[in-house]
Amino acid sequence: MGRSLGLVFAIMLGLAGPALAIEDDNLLVPLAQVQAAPKASIGKNARWGGEVATINRTERGLQVEVIAYPLVDDEWPDVDQADSIGRFRFYLSGEGGEDLRPGLQLTVRGRVLGSETDEGQGFKRQLPVLQAESYRLWRHYDHRHRDRWRDDPWHDRYHDDPYWRRHW
């Protein structure tokens, strides 16, 4: 009984939230590498983040263009403190993506498909492209004074507790 209850609990923990983790972070290809050599990166795993710029429905699925920022230790895009490192696109197949809107911050994990040429307003640019496997939207709050616990659903209850205080 105890073993089966532990298994159920472990399965529930694994299903909570999108899976951004990968077995070995060293296997992730950085955005700069794909920008430099998109064909050499096809099929590799990547985890990039930033701010949603545009969203379009296409034959391939939902196309999302993102203004990319470096990720900090908890996989959050550092939109407030760092400069943009370019743009990328990702595709979501099938249904989903109703929660995505321009201006939201997210982190996406997927496989590199190569790059696409974007022509607009008198210029051409190459955008790295991912086939998304999962993504996570981040809450809006002041990131300079962010609290790592604030995005953790297991600890949300403490923020409503009148006896809980910050220790800084």
Question: Quick one: pLDDT band at residue 25, thresholds 50, 70, 90?
Answer: low
Q: How far is CA 44 from CA 40, 70, 163, in A?
A: 9, 19, 47
More reliable by pLDDT, 36 or 160: 36
Q: Tokens 């972070």, residue?
A: 25
Region 74-83: what's the mean pLDDT? 82
Please give the share of the chain, as a percent, with pLDDT higher than 70. 67
Q: Do residues 48 and 66 make contact, with C-beta atoms less than 8 angstroms apart?
A: yes
Question: Quick one: pLDDT band at residue 153, thresholds 50, 70, 90?
Answer: low
User: Which pLDDT score, from 0 to 100, does residue 119 have?
Assistant: 81
Question: Quick one: pLDDT band at residue 120, thresholds 50, 70, 90?
Answer: confident
Q: Tokens 């939109």, residue?
A: 79
Task: Tell how strand 123-138 and strand 86-92 pair up.
Answer: parallel
Is the overall model pTM greater than 0.75, yes or no?
A: no
Contacts of 70 (CB under 8 A, 6+ apart): 77, 78, 82, 85
User: Which pLDDT score, from 0 to 100, does residue 145 have?
Assistant: 44
Q: Do residues 67 and 87 make contact, with C-beta atoms less than 8 angstroms apart?
A: yes
User: Which pLDDT score, from 0 to 100, does residue 2 have?
Assistant: 47
Q: What is the pLDDT of residues 14-24, one digit of tens each?
A: 333 446 666 66
Query: Across 9-13, 65-69, 151-155, which has the greatest mean pLDDT?
Result: 65-69
Q: Which domains does the chain have, with CATH numbers?
A: 27-140 (2.40.50.140)
The DSSP H or E segment spanning 20 is none
More reliable by pLDDT, 4 or 68: 68
User: Which pLDDT score, from 0 to 100, does residue 167 have?
Assistant: 47
Question: Quick one: pLDDT band at residue 87, thresholds 50, 70, 90?
Answer: very high
Length of the chain: 168
Question: Quick one: pLDDT band at residue 88, thresholds 50, 70, 90?
Answer: very high
Which of 60, 58, 152, 57 lies closest to 110 in space, CA to CA? 60
Task: Tell how strand 105-120 and strand 123-138 pair up.
Answer: antiparallel
